[in-house]
A and B are shown apart, each in its own frame.
Chain A
Amino acid sequence: MSAVVETSADTGLMRVASQKISRLMDLVGELSLSVSETVQSADLAGLDLTRFDASAHRLAMIVREVQDAATELRLVPVDDVFRRLRRMMRELERQTGKQIEMVIEGEDTAIDKLVSDRLYDPLLHVLRNSADHGLELAEERLANGKTAAGRITLAAAQVGSEVRITVTDDGRGLSRDRILKKARERGLFGPDEEPEPAMLWKVIFEPGFSTAEDVTNLSGRGVGMDVLHTTMASLRGRIGVDSTPGQGTKVTLHIPVSLAFLDCIILRKGARLYAIPIDMISEIGKATEGDLPAISADGGRELFRLRGTYIPVCRLERFYGETTAAAALAEGTVMVVFNTAAGPTAMPVDEILDRQQVVMKPLAGRLATLRASWGFAILGTGEVALVLDCERLGAGGAV
């Protein structure tokens, strides 16, 4: 870690090694924990602390501001990535022989540097897909009453705690028949199943899935989607696809603004604390009479009635193989419902404690094998909660 600091008097900008900023973030985290430990020290119990309390309050305010400022240091505009992609687009124009007009919007949108560093490959893949499969050749476009040049819009916008990056083309749109046929061949849907459009479109991003009639060196070989999948999974992102025949396709990448802080619901199950990213949770409710039917078949499958439909129940203690014969769930049990690719799943918990912005720590060393988790969340109280990866709980836990 050398001191890579170049100052420029003209712009007032400074280059700082990202490890230094990470170190600062760690220290700020420790600082805020230390402050709360000091202020809440048991030694102070029973003392008259009017002036101390006022100073402590001011201290807490400053610490919070320092925390915000440190977080902001890591945010960079998506502009850098977008500019590299624009250059790549000229290359794509040449290779496909199509005229492409590229529009860029929201390039000022700020995103965590760690995220920005990893966006190029997945976005390039989506753009290639649009240029290669989405856009038609000039003659076909003119025949359909469109402009000769195809248009691809690359846009970024912050919505709440996530950044949405969309790639929209005005091409021919996705072919439901062809994709459904292919998906059925691959066993992703049953022969009579008619999936919702949003569910169906998503399969085009399944690794190895390609309906392209001819394989070009650009795309159509189904590779590269792996890059998109793994990158999005490690960035805790989601992919959405929308398409209208003849009018085009829109691919949206939902990515959290900052990887350092995560907006979570903190809950307790047994003696353990867990955190679930808030955007995974669709609702939280209490089980009432008849919501939890007793089923002995199929190894005691558990279901939860959510507005008339029965959805699978995932019990953490079963998922982690700690118990197989747990007592039946009682009425009044708090159920957290989260959405996964496999559909909604309900998870019984003992108590919902709080909603807070947590600092994330990855699983390292001996803990790397811990299943269905993104890492640890350090809570404001100094306690540690395991952050659950609901997608994997839904896939492996919906027994």
Chain B
Amino acid sequence: MTDQLTEMTRSRAEGLPFTDTDNVDDMYLTFALDSEEYGVGIGQVTEIVGMQRIMAIPDMPAYIKGVINLRGKVIPLMDVRLRFDMPQREYDDRTVIIVMEVADAPIGLIVDGVREVLEIPPAQVDRPSQFGKSTGRNVIAGIGRIAERVAILLDASVLVSETDLGGVTDAIAAA
């Protein structure tokens, strides 16, 4: 499955147009953290790679695990579980790195596994203002309703920033 996704995201990165019926803005790559499902806009994803050798670096919060050398590019890795104050989990053969380009800089997100690429039209997305939290930009861009489940859609630029995400767990509970 991972290979397939990599293929899909690669073609996107190389600028091959999606068919007319697909709207990239509404396309999300979903991934698992524990039993929760999260999504990021596919437009910012450049590729998905398996776990690599991580080299530790100083002067960064614990959720920045270090950097990898991906074909000559140095990419910092963020453990999204730690970013959300979730318990740490051993990396296994399902653990993957979602490499994204956020604000002109690469970042790799370490997640439990990727699920699928989905189209979630705006009508199926509930925005955070609807849950009564309106101070500043929220890392949760919206809650996508997909049939019987939900995917928590993330604002990658907030996720990657140094912003303290203290309120996140509450917001998720409220959703």
> Interface on A for B, CB 8 Å cutoff?
26, 29-30, 33, 270-273, 316-317, 320-322, 359, 361, 364-367, 369-371, 376, 378, 382-386
A366 near B64: Cβ-Cβ < 8 Å: yes
The interface-forming segment of B4-12, B65-73, B86-94, B131-139 is: B65-73
B72 near A366: Cβ-Cβ < 8 Å: no
Question: Please, what's the 1-or-0 string for B56-88, where 1 marks a CB less than 8 Å from any CB in chain A?
Answer: 111110001001110111101010000000000
Q: Which residues of B contact A371 (CB under 8 A)?
A: 59
Please tell me if B107 contacts chain A, counting CB pairs below 8 Å.
yes
Q: Which residues of A contact B57 (CB under 8 A)?
A: 272, 367, 370, 386
Which of B53, B71, B72, B160 meets A365, CB within 8 Å?
B160
Which of A272, A361, A378 meets B58, CB within 8 Å?
A272
Q: Which residues of B contact A270 (CB under 8 A)?
A: 56
Distance from A31 Cβ to chain B, minimum over Cβ atoms (Å): 9
A384 near B104: Cβ-Cβ < 8 Å: no
> Interface on B for A, CB 8 Å cutoff?
53, 55-60, 64, 67-69, 71-74, 76, 78, 102-107, 160, 162
Q: Which residues of A contact B102 (CB under 8 A)?
A: 365
A316 near B58: Cβ-Cβ < 8 Å: yes
* Chief secondary structure at chain A's binding surface: mixed
Given the interface contacts A271-B56, A320-B58, A366-B160, does A33 sit within 8 Å of B72 by beta carbon? yes
Q: Which residues of A contact B160 (CB under 8 A)?
A: 365-366
Q: Which residues of B contact A322 (CB under 8 A)?
A: 58
Distance of A366 Cα from B106 Cα, bound (Å): 9
Can you name 28 A-B pairs with beta carbons within 8 Å?
A: A26-B72, A29-B72, A30-B71, A270-B56, A271-B56, A272-B55, A321-B59, A322-B58, A364-B104, A364-B105, A364-B106, A365-B104, A365-B106, A366-B76, A367-B57, A369-B59, A370-B57, A370-B58, A370-B59, A370-B60, A376-B67, A378-B69, A378-B74, A383-B53, A383-B55, A384-B67, A384-B69, A386-B57
B55 near A369: Cβ-Cβ < 8 Å: no
Q: Which residues of A contact B59 (CB under 8 A)?
A: 320-321, 369-371
Distance of A33 Cα from B72 Cα, bound (Å): 8
CB-nearest residue of chain A relative to B71? A30
Beyond A33-B69, A272-B55, 7 extra complex contacts between A and B, CB < 8 Å? A33-B72, A270-B56, A365-B76, A365-B106, A366-B107, A384-B68, A384-B74
Distance from A11 Cβ to chain B, minimum over Cβ atoms (Å): 34
Distance of A257 Cα from B49 Cα, bound (Å): 36
Distance of A322 Cα from B59 Cα, bound (Å): 8
A378 near B72: Cβ-Cβ < 8 Å: yes
Distance from A147 Cβ to chain B, minimum over Cβ atoms (Å): 55
Most chain B Cβ neighbours within 10 Å, of A271, A367, A376: A367
Which of A33, A361, A369 meets B74, CB within 8 Å?
A361
Distance of A119 Cα from B58 Cα, bound (Å): 33
| 7 interchain residue pairs of minimum CB distance | A365-B105, A320-B58, A30-B72, A364-B105, A376-B74, A29-B72, A320-B59
CB-nearest residue of chain A relative to B57? A386
Q: Which residues of B contact A385 (CB under 8 A)?
A: 55
Distance of A26 Cα from B74 Cα, bound (Å): 12
Q: Which residues of A contact B104 (CB under 8 A)?
A: 364-365
Q: Which residues of B contact A272 (CB under 8 A)?
A: 55-58
A384 near B55: Cβ-Cβ < 8 Å: yes
Most chain A Cβ neighbours within 10 Å, of B74, B78, B105: B74
Q: Which residues of B contact A370 (CB under 8 A)?
A: 57-60
Distance of A317 Cα from B56 Cα, bound (Å): 13
Q: Which residues of A contact B64 (CB under 8 A)?
A: 366
Q: Which residues of B contact A26 (CB under 8 A)?
A: 72
Q: Which residues of B contact A320 (CB under 8 A)?
A: 58-59
